[in-house]
Chain A
Amino acid sequence: MLLHLIKKEFVVIQKQTLWMVGLIALIPLFMLWKLPQYANYLGFVFAVIYGTFIMLSYICLAEYQCKKASAYLCTTPYPRKYLVLSKYFFCIIVYLFCALIFWLETLLLPQLGSLSLPLAGGAFLLIAVLCGIYLPICYYFGYDKTKFVYVIIVLGLSYLLPVLIGFNIEDTISRLFMAVSPDFAGAAIFITGLLIFVLSALISVRIYDHKDLA
Chain B
Amino acid sequence: MNTILHPILEVHHLNKSYKDFALQDVSFSLPEGCITGFIGANGAGKTTTLHTLLGLTGADSGEIRFFGMDMREQAEEIKNRIGVVLDSNCFYEGLTLNQMKNIIAPAYSRWCEEDYQRYLRTFSLNPKQTIKTLSKGMRVKYALTLALSHKAEFLIMDEPTSGLDPLIRSQVLGILADYMENGGRGVFFSTHITSDLDKIADTLILIDDGKILFQEEKDVLLDSYRIVKGDVCWLTADTRPLFINVSETAFGFTALTRQAARVQAMMPEAVMERPHIEDIMLGVIGENVPAKERR
Q: What is the interface of chain A, defined by CB distance below 8 A to chain B?
A: 1, 4-5, 7-8, 11-12, 15, 62, 65-66, 68-69, 71-79, 210, 212-214
Please, how many angstroms separate the alpha-carbon atoms of A206 and B56 in the complex?
A: 15
A174 to chain B minimum Cβ distance, whole angstroms, is 45
Cβ contacts under 8 Å, A73 to chain B: 103-104, 107
Would you mind naming 25 contact pairs between A and B with Cβ atoms under 8 Å apart?
Answer: A4-B106, A11-B95, A11-B99, A12-B92, A15-B94, A62-B92, A62-B94, A65-B93, A66-B89, A66-B90, A66-B91, A68-B89, A68-B90, A69-B91, A71-B51, A75-B54, A75-B84, A76-B79, A76-B84, A76-B104, A77-B77, A77-B80, A212-B56, A213-B51, A214-B51
Please, how many angstroms separate the alpha-carbon atoms of A73 and B91 in the complex?
A: 9
Within 83-101 of B, Cβ neighbours of A (below 8 Å) are at 84, 86-87, 89-95, 99
**B86 and A77 contacting across the interface, CB-CB below 8 Å:** no
B96 to chain A minimum Cβ distance, whole angstroms, is 10
Please, how many angstroms separate the alpha-carbon atoms of A76 and B103 in the complex?
A: 11
Cβ contacts under 8 Å, B108 to chain A: 76-77
**B56 and A66 contacting across the interface, CB-CB below 8 Å:** no
**Contact-residue bracket for chain B:** 20 to 34
Closest to A3 in B: B106
Q: Is B47 an interface residue when CB atoms closer than 8 A count as contact? A: yes
**A79 and B57 contacting across the interface, CB-CB below 8 Å:** no
Given A4-B107, A65-B93: 20 more A-B contacts, CB < 8 Å: A7-B103, A11-B95, A11-B102, A68-B90, A71-B56, A71-B86, A71-B90, A72-B90, A72-B91, A73-B104, A75-B54, A75-B56, A75-B84, A75-B86, A76-B79, A77-B109, A212-B58, A214-B47, A214-B48, A214-B57
Please, how many angstroms separate the alpha-carbon atoms of A178 and B106 in the complex?
A: 50
Q: Is B219 an interface residue when CB atoms closer than 8 A count as contact? A: no
Q: What is the interface of chain B, defined by CB distance below 8 A to chain A?
A: 47-48, 51, 54-58, 76-77, 79-80, 84, 86-87, 89-95, 99, 102-104, 106-109
B59 to chain A minimum Cβ distance, whole angstroms, is 11
**A66 and B93 contacting across the interface, CB-CB below 8 Å:** yes
Closest to A69 in B: B92
**B107 and A78 contacting across the interface, CB-CB below 8 Å:** yes
Please, how many angstroms separate the alpha-carbon atoms of A106 and B131 in the complex?
A: 42
B45 to chain A minimum Cβ distance, whole angstroms, is 11
Closest to B52 in A: A214
**A77 and B92 contacting across the interface, CB-CB below 8 Å:** no
Cβ contacts under 8 Å, B87 to chain A: 68
Cβ contacts under 8 Å, B95 to chain A: 11-12
Cβ contacts under 8 Å, B77 to chain A: 77
B200 to chain A minimum Cβ distance, whole angstroms, is 23
Please, how many angstroms separate the alpha-carbon atoms of A93 and B55 in the complex?
A: 30
Cβ contacts under 8 Å, B58 to chain A: 210, 212
Please, how many angstroms separate the alpha-carbon atoms of A79 and B107 in the complex?
A: 9
Please, how many angstroms separate the alpha-carbon atoms of A62 and B56 in the complex?
A: 19
Most buried by B among A66, A76, A213: A76
For the complex of A and B, list the 6 residue pairs with the smallest distance between their C-beta atoms, beginning with the closest: A68-B90, A72-B90, A76-B107, A214-B51, A4-B106, A213-B56
Cβ contacts under 8 Å, B106 to chain A: 1, 4
Cβ contacts under 8 Å, B102 to chain A: 4, 11
A84 to chain B minimum Cβ distance, whole angstroms, is 15
Q: Which of A15, A65, A74 contacts B55 (CB 8 A)?
A: A74
Q: Which of A77, A78, A214 contacts B56 (CB 8 A)?
A: A214
Closest to B156 in A: A75
Contact A1 to B107, CB < 8 A, known contacts A75-B56, A76-B79: yes
Please, how many angstroms separate the alpha-carbon atoms of A212 and B76 in the complex?
A: 18
Closest to A213 in B: B56
A56 to chain B minimum Cβ distance, whole angstroms, is 16
Please, how many angstroms separate the alpha-carbon atoms of A124 and B222 in the complex?
A: 68
Please, how many angstroms separate the alpha-carbon atoms of A15 and B206 in the complex?
A: 46
Please, how many angstroms separate the alpha-carbon atoms of A69 and B87 in the complex?
A: 10
Most buried by B among A12, A75, A79: A75
**B90 and A69 contacting across the interface, CB-CB below 8 Å:** yes
Please, how many angstroms separate the alpha-carbon atoms of A55 and B273 in the complex?
A: 64
A57 to chain B minimum Cβ distance, whole angstroms, is 16
Please, how many angstroms separate the alpha-carbon atoms of A79 and B74 in the complex?
A: 11
A86 to chain B minimum Cβ distance, whole angstroms, is 11
Closest to B132 in A: A66
